[in-house]
Amino acid sequence: MSSKEFKPCPFCGDKMMDRGGTLQHVEQGEGAKRCPIGVYAWPVEDADRWNTRAATDTVKNLAGHGRAAGLRALMAAINERYRQVAVEGWTVEHDDAHGPAVLAAASGCYALHAHDDGQPKGFTPAWWPFADEWYRPTTAERDLIKSIALGLAALEAEYRAKAKGGAA
């Protein structure tokens, strides 16, 4: 166990402690305050990085002043982007092969049709850039999350293309 002091969680404000080599919320289990990003463990050896987060003020601004929904939305999009990579297997190479414009078009489809309650089952927008079976709308909230995550993928591809000196 470490005797080092840790900054509180930037998302929920909970105290953090060393639990067997990982930095975790002090309060866990039933009745514990729920962090908007869920349970996670940060390696204690990275404690200096934990304690010097550049985005702390931004997160506090999102979480405070009635902006908890903004933080939840941000974390939902980040979690979906992670799911796209970890579960669906969409690699950097895959995204770059499609390019930012195609990923942005997919993002736009989910955003524009998030509230299309009247669409027939199996509807796929005409400008959906992938095979029809990959368009999987569910609820308005879920579709907006997918849209933002696809927008992140498009922006990542844009940044990579510019870093390589090419046009995106």
How does pLDDT run across 73-99, given as a tens digit for each residue?
Answer: 888 888 888 888 888 889 999 999 999
Task: Give the burial string for 56-72 (b: 16+ CB within 10 Å, else e).
Answer: eeebeebbeeeeeeebe
Does the reported pTM lie above 0.85?
Answer: no
- Where would I find the beta strands (DSSP E) of the chain? 16-19, 22-25, 42-43
At residue 103, the pLDDT reads: 97
Is the pLDDT higher at 56 or at 4? 4
- Dist. CA 162–CA 158, nearest whole Å: 6
* Residue bearing tokens 């200096």: 48
The whole-number average pLDDT for the span 117-143 is 88
Residue 111 has pLDDT above 50, yes or no: yes
Residue 58 has pLDDT above 70, yes or no: no
Phi-psi region of 52 (alpha: psi -120 to 50; beta: other; left: phi over 0): beta
- Looking at the DSSP bridge assignments, the partners of residue 25 are 16
Of all residues in the chain, what percent carry a pLDDT higher than 90? Answer: 35
